[in-house]
Structure 1
Amino acid sequence: MQKMIWIFSLTLLAACQNQRKANPVQKGGTAAKMWADFTDSHPEIKDEEMPEAWYFHDNKRDANRLAALTVAGRKQASSGLYTWYREANADLPKVGTKHIVTDFEGRAQCLISVTKVDTIPFFKISKAYAAMDMGTEQEPLKKWKDAHWKFFKSALSESGKEPTEDMLVVCEQFQTIWPE
């Protein structure tokens, strides 16, 4: 069941990352208001379609913690398995794509823009990238590997697969662009 949710999320967002879940956005909601405020301040993009809104991870505590780190500019990356994109026949994230990050309840927290996308084997993830993804400088690589190994293992086990040190990770870097 969880794998089906991830595949659905992947298809819905045309991108999949290990720690984000689609959030339905209703007209008049906080995501729509945030987008309207952003486009009012940046009229050159007023004709762009409102981006997808979603939260990180799969529980309230982590979703809200990661959203707060993103608002503060400390979390600047997110990671997903390449195999999830391949299985869903979805494109990898693209530089310039915008997303609205919400808290677990779906309240818009910030707007981010993708700045870089790489596909890297798990064992080659750098300390610098791990710090961007985890939002910390305290043992970021150890924390990243522990957290992501557990998450990938859990997600892959549903399809009878096991994580490997050479599995490909889609490393998406972003910057928080709103609020400014």
Structure 2
Amino acid sequence: MRQISIFLFLILVGCKNETKNQNKIGTDNQSEMTTETEDGIDKSVSEMWNDFIESNPECKNDGIPESDFFHNNEADANRLAKLTLTGEKRASSGLYSLYEQYNADLPAVGAKQIVTDFNGKAIAIIENVKVDTIPFNKISKEYAEMDMGTDIEPLEKWKKAHWEFFENFLNESGGKPTEEMLIVAVEFKKIWPL
């Protein structure tokens, strides 16, 4: 389970916005102690899923989806969770070579995920609406805007943030980023809370 979480963390990485204002989700999250279940997952994850199922009984036979946060640090993870909650972030990008390296299936259209803050507290439920594999240098401004959650220089910010992140990851495994490296571009919609 831990390896899956680490893998999902790497492939579902969000993007680093250049904004100086890196707000946390809410004001009381930092002082709250995480309330974990026996398996180490915050209780808010199952509570959010139960609330969703109560309002969407047609999904009652679906298993609880994976829960994870975007990015690799607290400030960005919390900022991206907030952008997902407000509907400004509607996409995520992963490195295709990671899927090959771990022999993992690509994300599926219709798959759900519970987005959490950095500490594992459930923030929103999303559902994939489109999955594509696109070379890094062919990412569109419109897609970058959905991923970055901003319309201020989204493509420039997307390229800078993702190049740096993928470069750091690839350097660790002896690889190098290229303009043609394949990106798994996932578009999603927030389905909970409404």
Matched, 1:80 2:94: yes
2:61 is paired with a residue whose SS is coil
Matched, 1:36 2:50: yes
Tell me, in whole angstroms, the C-alpha distance in 1 between the residues paired with 2:160 and 2:3.
21
Tell me, in whole angstroms, the C-alpha distance in 2 between the residues paired with 1:6 and 1:164.
27
The C-alpha deviation readout for 1:159-179, integer Å capped at 9, x for no partner, is 111100000000000000000
Matched, 1:126 2:140: yes
Instruction: Tell me what 1:16 maps to.
Output: 11
Tell me, in whole angstroms, the C-alpha distance in 1 between the residues paired with 2:5 and 2:103.
12
Instruction: Tell me what 1:61 maps to.
Output: 75
Residue identity over aligned pairs, in percent, reads 54
* CA RMSD in angstroms, aligned pairs only: 2.3
Q: Size of the alignment, in residue pairs? A: 172
8 Å contact kept, 2:93–2:186: yes
Structure 1 position 8, deviation (Å): 6.0
Q: Which amino acid aligns with 2:126?
A: I
Tell me, in whole angstroms, the C-alpha distance in 2 between the residues paired with 1:139 and 1:106.
30
Q: Which amino acid aligns with 2:118?
A: F
Tell me, in whole angstroms, the C-alpha distance in 1 between the residues paired with 2:160 and 2:106.
24
Tell me, in whole angstroms, the C-alpha distance in 1 between the residues paired with 2:156 and 2:73.
22
Q: Which amino acid aligns with 2:134?
A: I
2:160 to 135, 142, 146: 146
Instruction: Tell me what 2:123 maps to.
Output: 109
Structure 1 position 17, deviation (Å): 2.6
Structure 1 position 26, deviation (Å): 4.8
Tell me, in whole angstroms, the C-alpha distance in 1 between the residues paired with 2:168 and 2:4.
15
Tell me, in whole angstroms, the C-alpha distance in 1 between the residues paired with 2:64 and 2:108.
16
Structure 2: where are the runs of 5+ without partners?
16-36
Q: Residue 46 and residue 128 in structure 1: after superposition, are their counterparts in 2 closer, same or farther (change >3 A)?
A: same
The C-alpha deviation readout for 1:71-101, integer Å capped at 9, x for no partner, is 0000000001100000100000000000000
Structure 1 position 61, deviation (Å): 0.3
Instruction: Tell me what 1:160 maps to.
Output: 174
TM-score (norm 2): 0.83
8 Å contact kept, 2:135–2:181: yes
Matched, 1:95 2:92: no
TM-score (norm 1): 0.89
Q: Which amino acid aligns with 1:155?
A: F
8 Å contact kept, 2:42–2:120: no
Q: After the TM superposition, which segments of 4 or more aligned residues of structure 1 sit over 2 Å from their partners?
A: 5-10, 15-20, 24-28
